[in-house]
Amino acid sequence: MSTVSFDDRDGWIWLDGQFVPWREAKVHVLTHGLHYASSVFEGERMYGGEIFELTAHTERLFKSAEILDFEIPYTVAEIDQACKDACAKNGLTDAYLRPIAWRGSEMIGVSAQNTKIHVAIAVWDWPSYFKPEERAKGIRLTWAKYKRPSPESEPVHAKAAGLYMICTVSKHAAEKDGFTDAMMLDYRGYVAESTGSNVFFVKDGVIHTPLPDCFLNGITRQTVIKLARSQGIEVVERHIKPEELAGFTECFVTGTAAEVTPVAEIGEYSFTPAKLSLGLMDDYAKLVRRELVTA
């Protein structure tokens, strides 16, 4: 990924209904979203001029805002179009998109009903989330210190900025120790997800994946499940205990950024990327580029 600072780039950002030069897309230091995490966002990918599952992402953005008790002042169709326009304005046909909505600076305190809701969309070139050589042989993960919280303690089904705090801390710790990422358990001790992607395991030709009852049911996750089932592969969604990992032969993670990436190691458990994980990695890449048609 480019080392150019994200606040010092050429290009245009869609901000509150109009395009502004990239370097001028700013917010006030007392923005409520900065102090109280009243912010929701999406991560999307454009492949060959088409944004994959665009409307599904936009609808989730609106749902996340609703969960955080604010209303985005545009329609789903308007945000869909703004995403397409942002890519065109920046001359991109293969890109990563970051729509984000947040409370403004009119009020600074826990109570913030009268803040203005802002929306921005930034797009940029995005290479592989993990290094190509890592993806081929499988990435290495350690266990995260923090756990995904209970639905009774956090709005776990919103893609809200505040929920990623423990992800950043956990990924930093993993990278410091030489790992690519960290695997998180949930508040009950079940396997949940990595810091930015859902996880799948393989045993005897069957795919097992954690039940998303306290973390996001990722759009890529849903796509991969449909893709696998369309090929006659059984997919079981259930709670998975950490000790069960000893019985799985393959593992892979999924996400808009990660796409489908095989895993070679999670803590003390090892896996070998093979037919299922490598096949789904290739099939997903073809699907998003419209080189694969499914029923």
State the catalytic residues: 159
Pairing status of strand 206-210 against strand 39-41: unpaired
Amino acid found at 169: V
Report the alpha-carbon angle 146-281-130, nearest 5: 50
Its sign, for the CA torsion 263, 264, 268, 269, is positive
Phi and psi at residue 221, to the nearest 5°: -55, -50
Task: Specify whether the CB–CB gap between 195 and 170 falls below 8 A.
Answer: yes
Measured distance CA(23)–CA(259) in Å, rounded = 29
Task: Specify whether the CB–CB gap between 98 and 121 falls below 8 A.
Answer: yes
| Token digits of residue 228 | 């696998």
Helix (H/G/I), strand (E/B), else coil: 94:
coil
The residue among 187, 204, 167, 197 whose CA lies nearest residue 284 is 197
Helix (H/G/I), strand (E/B), else coil: 257:
coil
